[in-house]
Amino acid sequence: MKKLSLLLLLIMVLFLAGCSDSDSTTSNESESNSSDSNDNGGTEPTKLTVWSFVESYSDYYKYSAEQWNKQFPDRQIEIEANLLPFSDMWKKLTLSLQSGSGAPDIVDIEINKFANYLQGDIQLEPLNDIINPDDYISARLNLYEKDGNYYGAPNNLASSVMFYDMDIMNDAGIDPYDIVTWDDYFEAAKVVKEQTGKPMFTVGTSDTTFYQILILQRGSDLIDDEGNLTIANEKNVEQLQLLRDSVYEDEIAIPSPGGGYTEESYFGFMNNHGVASNLMPIWYMDRFVNYMPDLKDKILIRPMPKCNDEECYDSVGLGGTGSAVIKQSEHVELAKEFLQYTKTTKESILGLYTHMGKVPPAHVYDHEVFKKPTEITEFFLNDNVFSVVDEVTKTVVAPNVPADYPKAVAAIQDALFNVIQNDSMTAEEALEKAEEDVRNQSSDD
């Protein structure tokens, strides 16, 4: 009897264990199917979180999701697009990556910050399977490459051009088409100042754009191809001294109001005809439309002046943003597929222009869409803005962006403030200090 009871007990235990295994398997299969079903649409849309610091980028993700949902009704996506303040975004992104939770599925990373996220155990997903390098202007795409992997999809072309306020230029009797070289430009600047009392340009003190364009055009950089710091080399000192003398000796320039070129105070200053010209990447076009409306039909876009150096590039690619997919995302493959749909096919690259007004970072300028006027192209005096774009993409140079690049840019900001804003250091002293500061920070890492 005791043996029979034990046998019955054993049978019951085995039966219950079998039920437990069966329930567990069913539950796991259900969860797996649910996850697969969500990523492939299912009855509920899959939520993808996107972080950006540019409103037009955020809006474009929403627009793209709407188009995706029309095209793939069985694979619905819900985009949660978060627009973060520029200064806060990097602290939040870094913390979420370090903690392993809280990061978005897709994030827009500004180029001066991108190298920070390509160190150590990279938390960005390689995008090689959704990017065709042959489609892109290499100077743009290579900014987001490391060890053969592309981690960012470029959002725009960043070839630099000169924006001229023709009300001021006409008052001074200067035709920008006669400005071919930098010598021409600085001579014209003296006439502008004499005839109108206005500065020809401003020098950023918290924004390194103008300074970096000057040194890069001449074949120099903050860091060389081998990763060596070159901040205080002769060409760099010479160009910083040129900017300092333009402000304090020739008085043809002033420090930028607000410190940079994308500050509200600067927009108001230029919108009020405060300065005759502005050297910026081509993506700056939409800043005029959005923030300087009084300058409609008053701005002429021209290629940046050429230099007399033996090594001299037609244009400099500077600034820009790369869109990345985060590894900790629960929907990595879907996020990559959506990013491809939004920004890396030839059709979606054109969408960067047709829906955001961004000049695409790719070889697409012969497309008929660029012959049609838009709100942005109609803002400027040029008969065809893209004739200038075509000219400034022939030989474009971009900065080297290794691990020390963000530190180097921050050090240059300090140097510009000391030399241009305060006139408290010589160009050579400021750049030597900047290079030493970066070296010390790198040794501490």
Confidence class for position 444, pLDDT limits 50, 70, 90: low
Q: Is the pLDDT of residue 347 over 70?
A: yes
Mean pLDDT of the chain: 88
What backbone torsions phi and psi does residue 102 show, to the nearest 5 degrees?
Answer: 95, -5
Report the percentage of the chain scoring pLDDT > 70: 90
Q: Is the pLDDT of residue 3 over 80?
A: no
- Judgement on whether residues 63 and 118 belong to the same structural domain of the protein: yes
Measured distance CA(181)–CA(398) in Å, rounded: 20
- Judgement on whether residues 283 and 400 belong to the same structural domain of the protein: yes
pLDDT score, position 379:
95
What count of Cα atoms within 13 Å lies in the side-chain half-sphere of residue 21? 6
What count of Cα atoms within 13 Å lies in the side-chain half-sphere of residue 176? 24
Do the domain assignments include residue 277? yes
- Judgement on whether residues 212 and 174 belong to the same structural domain of the protein: yes
Q: What is the tally of structural domains in the chain?
A: 2
Measured distance CA(277)–CA(271) in Å, rounded: 12
What backbone torsions phi and psi does residue 223 show, to the nearest 5 degrees?
Answer: -140, 135
Do the domain assignments include residue 312? yes
Do the domain assignments include residue 377? no
Confidence class for position 39, pLDDT limits 50, 70, 90: low
pLDDT score, position 31:
34
Q: Is the pLDDT of residue 32 over 60?
A: no
- Judgement on whether residues 76 and 145 belong to the same structural domain of the protein: yes
| First vs last C-alpha separation in the chain | 75
Report the percentage of the chain scoring pLDDT > 90: 67
Among 271-280, 347-356, 426-435, which is the least confidently predicted range?
Answer: 347-356
pLDDT tens per residue, range 186-234: 999 999 999 999 999 999 999 999 999 999 999 999 999 899 999 999 9
- Judgement on whether residues 51 and 136 belong to the same structural domain of the protein: yes
Do the domain assignments include residue 380? no
Do the domain assignments include residue 125? yes
Q: Is the pLDDT of residue 14 over 50?
A: no
- 8-state DSSP, 228: -
Residue range 114-134: mean pLDDT, rounded: 94
Please enumerate in sequence order all residues whose Cβ is within 8 A of that of 42, keeping only pairs 6 or more positions apart, or say none: 34, 74, 76
- Judgement on whether residues 292 and 206 belong to the same structural domain of the protein: yes
- Judgement on whether residues 398 and 431 belong to the same structural domain of the protein: yes
pLDDT tens per residue, range 370-413: 888 888 889 999 998 888 888 888 788 889 988 899 999 999 99
The 3-class secondary structure across 90-123, one letter per residue, is HHHHHHHHHHCCCCCCEEEEEHHHHHHHHCCCCC
pLDDT tens per residue, range 281-294: 998 998 999 999 99
- Judgement on whether residues 291 and 437 belong to the same structural domain of the protein: yes
- Judgement on whether residues 217 and 344 belong to the same structural domain of the protein: no
Measured distance CA(396)–CA(154) in Å, rounded: 15
Residues spanned by the domain of 90: 46-157+320-364
H or E stretch covering 161: strand 160-165
pLDDT score, position 361:
86
- Judgement on whether residues 307 and 407 belong to the same structural domain of the protein: yes
- Judgement on whether residues 180 and 123 belong to the same structural domain of the protein: no
Measured distance CA(364)–CA(350) in Å, rounded: 8
Query: Which CATH number characterizes residue 121's domain?
Result: 3.40.190.10
Do the domain assignments include residue 233? yes
pLDDT tens per residue, range 264-312: 999 999 999 999 999 999 989 989 999 999 999 999 999 999 998 778 8
Cα dist from 363 to 57, 149, 160, 390, whole Å:
21, 21, 17, 10
Do the domain assignments include residue 11? no
- Judgement on whether residues 291 and 407 belong to the same structural domain of the protein: yes
pLDDT score, position 43:
63
Q: Which of 171-175, 344-348, 354-358 has the highest mean pLDDT?
A: 171-175
Do the domain assignments include residue 15? no
